[in-house]
Amino acid sequence: MSKTALILGVSGQDGSYLARLLLEKGYCVVGSSRDAQMSSFANLAKLGIKEHVQTESVSSTDFRSVLQVLKKVKPDEIYNLAGQSSVGLSFSQPMETYESISVGTLNLLEVIRMLEMPVRFYNAGSSECFGNTDGERANEETPFRPRSPYAVAKAAAFWQLANYREAYDIFSCSGLLFNHESPLRPERFVTQKIVREACQIKSGKQKKMSLGNISVKRDWGWAPEYVEAMWLMLQQDKADDFIIATGHTSSLEDMVETVFSLLDLNWHDYVEINPALLRPTDIKISLADPSKAEQELGWKARYKMKDVAAMMVEECLEGMTK
C-alpha cells in the first residue's frame, strides 16, 4: 500500500518540490493551504503536478482545523512547511510570525499526541536560529542566538519539537535548513529579486536596482535537493535534528556579481545601496557544517551558489521570452 504524506504549506517553494519528490516515490500526497479553494497553487502548476496533489484547507493556528485534517487524511508522514517565511516581514508582523510558526507547530504536536498517531513529523527549522556564530561553522550542537522575530519563533518551534520528542516519544525531526533557493522563490527574497531585476535590466525594462546590505554572507543551496533531506530524515530508525546546507558560504555581493556576469553586465553600473532596505538586526555571516547529514543520511548538496544562480537566471530568461 502506498504511504500518505501531508504537506502543510504545499503552495510554497519547498512544499511544491517536496510534493513532486513524494509523488515520484509513489506517495499519496495531500497538500494544505490556508484556503485551498482560493489558492491557485501556482507553484504546483508550474511543476505540472497540481492535478496529482489532493488539497485541503488547513490553518495550523486553529486546533480544530489541524485535528480535522489529521483525522481525515491519516498521514504516515507530516511535513510542516507552513508559516510566515520572511525574516524581513517578521519585523513588521512579529505576532503573526510567532503564531503561524510556533503556535502552528504546537497545535500539530498536540493533535499528534492526542490522536496517538504513529506518524512521523518533519518540521521546518531554520539556520536563522544560529544568528552570528563568531566565524564558527554551525553544527547541530551550536547554541542558538536568534536575531529576528522570525528566528526567535523558529527557535521556540525547534525546542517544542525536541520537548515533545523527549516527553511523549513523538517521531519528530527539525531540519535546520540554510538558505535554499529556486525559481519558485517569491520576489521578496533577495536572491529572486536580484535575478528578476537583473534580467529586467538586461532586457532594458529597468535601469537600476536597489539593495540593502550586500556584505552579508550566506550558505545558498538548491531547494529541489533540500527537500530530499527532509524525506530522508523521516526514513531513519531514530528521530533527530539535522543541519542541511552546502557548507560553502558566499557574500550577497558575490551572488550579485555572479548573476550580472551571467548576463554579461557589470553590477557596479546598476546597483544602488538603499539604507531603507537594511534590517533592524541582521546576521552578518552564516556558516554551516552539514557533515552530520552526510554521515547519517547520506545526503550531500550537489549544487553551490553559482550553480543555483545560473539555474535561476536561466529559468527567469526563459519565462520572459514566453
- Cα–Cα distance measured from residue 188 to residue 84, given in angstroms and rounded to the nearest whole number: 12
Q: Is 166 among the residues known to form the active site?
A: no
State yes or no: residue 149 binds another protein (CB under 8 A): yes
Nearer to another protein, 55 or 61 (CB): 61
Nearer to another protein, 110 or 307 (CB): 110
State yes or no: residue 159 binds another protein (CB under 8 A): yes
- Taking the complex as a whole, the smallest distance from the CB of residue 166 to another protein amounts, in Å, to 5
Only one residue has cell 545560473, namely 310
Using CB under 8 A, which of 82, 156, 288, 301 touches another protein?
A: 156
Measure Cα distances from 304 to 59, 137, 221, 300 in Å. 35, 17, 6, 11
Q: Is 128 among the residues known to form the active site?
A: yes
- Cβ(232)–Cβ(22) below 8 Å: no
Which entry of 60, 85, 127, 128 is annotated as an active-site residue?
A: 128
State yes or no: residue 124 binds another protein (CB under 8 A): no
Q: Is 303 among the residues known to form the active site?
A: no
State yes or no: residue 107 binds another protein (CB under 8 A): yes
Reported as type and span, the H/E element at residue 180 is strand 180-181
10 Å Cβ neighbour count for 321? Answer: 6
Using CB under 8 A, which of 30, 155, 176, 243 touches another protein?
A: 155
Strand order in the sheet with 77-80: 54-57, 28-33, 4-8, 77-80, 120-124, 171-177, 242-244
State yes or no: residue 82 binds another protein (CB under 8 A): no
Beta bridge partners of 152: none
Q: Which of residues 251-280 bind another protein (CB under 8 A)?
A: 279-280
- Cβ(299)–Cβ(229) below 8 Å: yes
Tell me which residues are annotated as active site: 126, 128, 150
User: Which parts of this chain interact with another protein (CB under 8 A)?
Assistant: 63, 91, 94-95, 98-99, 102-103, 106-107, 110, 143-144, 146-149, 151-153, 155-156, 159-160, 163, 166-168, 279-281
